[in-house]
Structure 1
Amino acid sequence: MRKAITLLLLIPFLLFYALPAEAAEKEERHWQDESIYFIMVDRFQNGNPANDGKDADPTDLKSYTGGDLKGVTDRLDYIQKMGFTAIWLTPVVDNVDGGYHGYWPKDFSKVDEHFGTMEDMKKLVKEAHKRNMKVILDYVANHTGPNHPWLNDPAKKDWFHPQQDITNWDDQTELENNWLFGLPDLNHENPDVRKFLIDNAKYWIKETGVDGFRLDAIKHIPKDFLKEFVSSIKKEYPNFFFIGEVLSEDPKYVSEYKDTGIDAFLNYPYYKEITDAFSKPGVSPDRLYNEWERDQQLYQDPYMLGTFIDNHDQVRFTRVALENKQYPPKRLRMALTYLLTSPGIPIMYYGTEIALDGGPDPDNRRIMDFKTDKDFQDYISKLGELRQQLPSLRRGTFEMLYDQDGMSVFKRTYEKETTVIAINNTTETKKVTLSSGQLAANKELRGLLSDDLVREENGSYALVLKRETANVYALAERTGLNWGFIGAIAGVYVLFTIFLILARRRRKKN
């Protein structure tokens, strides 16, 4: 009985506030439609303690701590519930001692025993695909781990550049030929090295069925090799996805790698600006928006840039907020709203959903704790849900409608669908008036992230947001007073009341 009453009360809400019909239409998915959850395998979840090894120590962030591939597989539903449609894993190849992070390869064709087996990797991909989720593997093509056995193999004496560390980080020749933080630098001019890396990459694709590679440290790899590497793989796997890491805050420098054939790049300039804009209140996101306008000039498809607010190489966003004497979950709500509603492929680092703290490496790689603030996690899930339901949040144009002292409003339009994103990154309630010329006449804005309904009155829309809050609105046809609809609802209530009276009389008789 209670369920029936609840359903009855929900009917008007569902009919008045449902998303516009256009939002439900399904289209073929492209990579710009994905949302990526980034996992450091060793720090996520220990699914099989039997493979920890004697050197695992959960109290030492410079060693293996127990996370593995089974742990990731066990948490796929958890990740999907937050609205993420793809996962990116740090390298899973066998590493030299101490290579818990995966970036010190030893055996390029074997899964590190601390993470499980090749069968575990295959199962993870299979389970992800069952959920219509994609899997990206980190691939290291620039170097090997320290003291790699190849260094003492006479047959591979020409596989490495001479040992010399990078000293001038503005010298491209040094970046490509010298050793990165003491790691043996592979000689990509050697045809045998090139063939090995290309064949090895194809091996991982064939064996596991992964959907893409995140290419590590590519500013240290010659562009001609990157071009050969990508084209060789795409000949056999034309839909395979590549996202490259060019660790630079210079957007022009990052864009110089676009001719290599790599599909997407991590947007480090965006990362810097989004951190500056939302790690404290009262800051305008204008430089962040200007970054988007610049990206449109630099890239043929700027929607394919990977956007993020923190990762395993940077101090966590939570730490920056704390240093600014701010409450991290509030700051994260602002930043994640922008991340998941602005153009690009959003990437969220594991632990952000619990506002995990972390300073410089390895402190930014703490072990995941799944005890979380449910309200905060629900907020992320709602953002992820809206991004998947509304094509305009993934493919739409991006226009700033209002910007003053941290209060900003953006509009995204795709085909017939328009959404409005309002972010009050200030310490006061703010009211913003938008003209019907900026949106459309005689319509209404339906709040989707939090309940709100704003109708056009006298040629304008008045948005009111409390301090440090955000909302996503769908522009829709004005509902007004539909007397036929109201009469039908009233009829339902009358019939239901009669049903309750008759049911009560029957109970009294019995």
Structure 2
Amino acid sequence: MKRIFSLLLPALFLLVVAMPAHAADKRTWQDESIYFIMVDRFNNGNPQNDQDVNVNDPRAYHGGDLQGIIDKLDYIKSMGFTAIWLTPIFKNEPGGYHGYWISDFYKVDPHFGTLSDLKRLVKEAHKRDMKVILDFVVNHTGPHHPWLNDPTKKDWFHEKKDIFNWTDQTEVENGWLFGLPDLAQENPEVKRYLIDAAKWWIQQTDIDGYRLDTVKHVPKSFWKDFSNEVKSVKKDFFLLGEVWHDDPRYIADYGKYGIDGFLDFPFYQEASKIFSKSDQSLEPLYNVWRRNETFYERPYLLGTFLDNHDTVRFTRLALENRQNPIKRIKLGLTYLFSAPGIPIMYYGTEIGLDGGKDPDNRRLMNFRTDQEIIDYIKKIGELRKQLPSLRRGDFTLLYEKNGMAVFKRTYHDQTAVIAINNTNKTAKAHITNEQLETGKELRGLLADDLVRSDKNGYDIILNRETAEIYVLGKKTGLNVPFISAIIAVYVLFGLFLYYVKKRPQARG
């Protein structure tokens, strides 16, 4: 029965939506959704590489590896994610479970596996039409890198100084971040080494993109040369930059030097506050988008997120606000998957993984937990995949009052309406005929709601802490295609039972 229904589900979905899919549109990076993995903390697929593992020490290795990710690709794909981003997999100094203390830019860390494992991971991901992004660090090395004691590489590092004045760009680029040796990218030898290494991994493994760590700590002139050379290796190679800053104008300026998209930290700051507590207005999030439209050349390539490996877990924020984290996560992810940008979800969010500051926000993944959030992600992931308007459409705020918000996205002849009730009580939003085409109906795809227009417009009513994603369509009476499909399901199930009953029984 489950197999029969799963085969019919996509057809049922399309019958209900009854909207053109615009399949001719070429897939671009703004169509992706990314699952972010801290390799050591995700899944242990090969116990033979468990060196120095201690799952009770938050700063020790926990055993996650590349084989573990391969084993869970179908799990990730089933939630609708089309790409994975991995923390650095390069060989690290002792204790570098997180991957950011690199000791060799040309080797896979043995805790995670081998180069062959990485090649196989990329190959298996591509088989599933999924892309692979590696974290790449050019700003610094591990704290005790051999180059520090190599006289021939004395000028490969900046003078050891901490960053005190964070508004002084020279100090930001030349200072030692968290005491880590700061590479001098203006040195032609250093620049050549880093760019060659970046190109080598693409040539060897066929990865699809880099998440660039600590971008603002590296000169812009380096990024221009880096992006030009790296993109010459593979068509449509994606560069996602981490520029941790409050001002979108500061972040956007790096787009002039070849970096395609950026992690949207202004979005994170608003989203993490708004969705971790009820009765918070969503208008500040819309204002973030309006600024992004103004300052970025390609605002749809911004990576949106609720938390990551450098922040307190979203679940912790909700718990501190005495909120139900499951409800809060659902609302936050609904916005993440339906608003402009590339949604990035940190591993463990689908199980409500808790965690405070680093390293507590990097707990070991648990795959034997409640399915409620996972099932919800599958729904919104499928909607984002099937509705181009949720990936490519314009974005308009139709209504907002104390946390009850309605947004509209239009792409070609498809209109999606996203309604989010971020309050602690049932709420109603009235949408006028001037805001939304009259004489039609809104068909809910998350909770099967149906809203028909009257002479005054549309009244959308949602229970507390819930959301709905609608498509705008012609008014219908009986939904004949849907009813026919439901009947077909029951007929097939009846035939299945008949077949099982008539099948000869095995004899002992």
Could you tell me the TM-score, scaled by structure 1's length? 0.92
1:88 and 2:51 aligned: no
> What's the CA shift for 1:283?
0.6
1:97 and 2:94 aligned: yes
- Is the radius of gyration larger for structure 1 or structure 2? 1
1:120 and 2:117 aligned: yes
- Counterpart pick for 1:43 among 38, 41, 44: 41
> What's the CA shift for 1:16?
10
The residue number in structure 2 matching 1:191 is: 188
Q: Is the 8 A contact 2:279 2:424 kept in 1?
A: yes
1:275 and 2:252 aligned: no
The residue number in structure 1 matching 2:295 is: 298
Is the partner of 2:232 in helix, strand or coil?
helix
Residue segments in structure 1 that go unaligned for 5+ positions in a row: none
Is the partner of 2:383 in helix, strand or coil?
helix
1:427 and 2:424 aligned: yes
The residue number in structure 2 matching 1:64 is: 61
Identity, % of aligned positions:
59
1:159 and 2:143 aligned: no
1:75 and 2:100 aligned: no
Q: Is the 8 A contact 2:351 2:371 kept in 1?
A: no
Give per-residue Cα distances to partners, 1:27-61, cap 9 Å, x unaligned. Answer: 211000000000000000000010011x1111111
Q: Is the 8 A contact 1:134 1:210 kept in 2?
A: yes
> What's the CA shift for 1:236?
2.9
Give per-residue Cα distances to partners, 1:310-341, cap 9 Å, x unaligned. Answer: 00000011111111111111111111111110
> What's the CA shift for 1:20?
2.3
Q: Which amino acid aligns with 2:211?
A: R
The residue number in structure 2 matching 1:209 is: 206
- Counterpart pick for 2:451 among 451, 454, 472: 454
Q: Is the 8 A contact 1:24 1:389 kept in 2?
A: no
- Counterpart pick for 1:476 among 473, 477, 489: 473
User: Residues 234-383 of structure 1: matches in 2 within 5 Å?
Assistant: 234-383=231-380
Is the partner of 1:256 in helix, strand or coil?
helix
Question: What is the rounded CA distance, in whole Å, between the counterparts of 1:16 and 1:70 in structure 2?
Answer: 36
Q: Is the 8 A contact 2:67 2:117 kept in 1?
A: yes
- Stretch deviating more after TM superposition (127-136 or 450-459): 450-459
User: Residues 140-159 of structure 1: matches in 2 within 5 Å?
Assistant: 140-159=137-156
Q: Is the 8 A contact 2:420 2:468 kept in 1?
A: yes
Q: Which amino acid aligns with 2:71?
A: D
> What's the CA shift for 1:237?
2.3
Is the partner of 1:18 in helix, strand or coil?
helix
Is the partner of 1:22 in helix, strand or coil?
coil
- Counterpart pick for 2:16 among 8, 15, 18: 18
The residue number in structure 2 matching 1:404 is: 401
The residue number in structure 2 matching 1:31 is: 29
Question: What is the rounded CA distance, in whole Å, between the counterparts of 1:198 and 1:208 in structure 2?
Answer: 16
Is the partner of 1:320 in helix, strand or coil?
helix
Question: What is the rounded CA distance, in whole Å, between the counterparts of 2:236 and 2:373 in structure 1?
Answer: 35
Question: What is the rounded CA distance, in whole Å, between the counterparts of 1:437 and 1:25 in structure 2?
Answer: 30
Question: What is the rounded CA distance, in whole Å, between the counterparts of 1:73 and 1:249 in structure 2?
Answer: 36
> What's the CA shift for 1:371?
2.0
Q: Report the RMSD for the aligned CA atoms in angstroms.
A: 2.3
Give runs of ≥4 in structure 1 deviating > 4 Å: 13-17
Question: What is the rounded CA distance, in whole Å, between the counterparts of 1:359 and 1:481 in structure 2?
Answer: 51
> What's the CA shift for 1:157?
1.0
Give per-residue Cα distances to partners, 1:98-151, cap 9 Å, x unaligned. Answer: 000000100110000000000000000000000000000000000100110011
The residue number in structure 1 matching 2:174 is: 177
Question: What is the rounded CA distance, in whole Å, between the counterparts of 1:197 and 1:121 in structure 2?
Answer: 20
Q: Which amino acid aligns with 1:86?
A: A
Question: What is the rounded CA distance, in whole Å, between the counterparts of 2:354 and 2:207 in structure 1?
Answer: 30
Is the partner of 1:473 in helix, strand or coil?
strand
Q: 1:17 to 1:466 in 2, by over 3 A?
A: farther
Question: What is the rounded CA distance, in whole Å, between the counterparts of 2:123 and 2:14 in structure 1?
Answer: 40
Question: What is the rounded CA distance, in whole Å, between the counterparts of 1:85 and 1:386 in structure 2?
Answer: 13
Question: What is the rounded CA distance, in whole Å, between the counterparts of 2:433 and 2:369 in structure 1?
Answer: 41
- Counterpart pick for 2:197 among 200, 206, 214: 200
Give per-residue Cα distances to partners, 1:272-315, cap 9 Å, x unaligned. Answer: 01111111010101111001001111011100101000000000
Paired residue total: 486
> What's the CA shift for 1:392?
0.3
Q: Is the 8 A contact 2:157 2:184 kept in 1?
A: yes
Q: Is the 8 A contact 2:355 2:363 kept in 1?
A: yes
Q: Which amino acid aligns with 2:58?
A: L
Is the partner of 1:175 in helix, strand or coil?
helix
Q: Is the 8 A contact 1:20 1:474 kept in 2?
A: no
Q: 1:112 to 1:15 in 2, by over 3 A?
A: closer
Q: Which amino acid aligns with 2:61?
A: Y
Residue segments in structure 2 that go unaligned for 5+ positions in a row: 503-508
Is the partner of 2:27 in helix, strand or coil?
coil
Question: What is the rounded CA distance, in whole Å, between the counterparts of 1:79 and 1:73 in structure 2?
Answer: 10
Q: Is the 8 A contact 1:83 1:385 kept in 2?
A: yes
> What's the CA shift for 1:477?
1.3
Q: Which amino acid aligns with 1:232?
A: E
> What's the CA shift for 1:473?
0.3
Question: What is the rounded CA distance, in whole Å, between the counterparts of 1:298 and 1:15 in structure 2?
Answer: 37
Q: Which amino acid aligns with 2:267?
A: Y
